[in-house]
Amino acid sequence: MKIRVLLLASGDGSLVQAIIDAVKKDELDIHIVGLVCDQPGARVIERVKAAGIPTYLIPIAVARQQWDKEIWDVGIELNPDLIVSAGFMRILSPEFVERFKVINSHPSLLPNFPGVHAVKDALLANVAMTGTTIHWVDSGVDTGEIIAQVEIAVVPNDDIASLHERIKIVERGLIVETISKLLPTLEKRHV
């Protein structure tokens, strides 16, 4: 049986689309069991629906404990071998990341510039080099063990949008490559 992957995303879904495309091209031998999204109007929902992937919309408008429980319940129901946070802008509960294997894509060279404003923070720090990181998710904010990184030069006249777009281009390939490399190490959680 194929490794079961649950995707988490909040926005446009370009990383999710890269994963879907890699599956279609037989570059990734996985079964995407669903998408959890916290934003009702997110474009990623259209992308996964077009691919026939079930969507679980869980807005954070409910109490945090209820939201944590709803995501937990989806995880238990779908029983994924790997969860991929691909542009998911929420912090998962410590219990969730202890129970499930979760990786995250982050637009900086961690441990530099953790958190939601990584690209802006890199520009404000006037660094010559930033990049993207794929890491295991733990109970901290972007503090989990680093799996893979790629450096990206900051060029003159970069702004948040231009730098972030160049990071995303590299990030799309890196997330697919990283999932592929992890597949032999994943224990299947189903029968």
- Catalytic annotation, residues: 106
Q: Are 102 and 142 in contact (CB under 8 A)?
A: no
Residue type, position 62, single letter? V
Order of strands, edge to edge, in the sheet holding 3-9?
A: 55-57, 30-37, 3-9, 82-85, 102-106, 129-136, 146-153
- What are 154-160's contacts with CB under 8 Å, separation 24+? 154/122, 154/123, 154/127, 154/128, 154/129, 154/130, 158/123, 159/123, 160/119, 160/120, 160/123
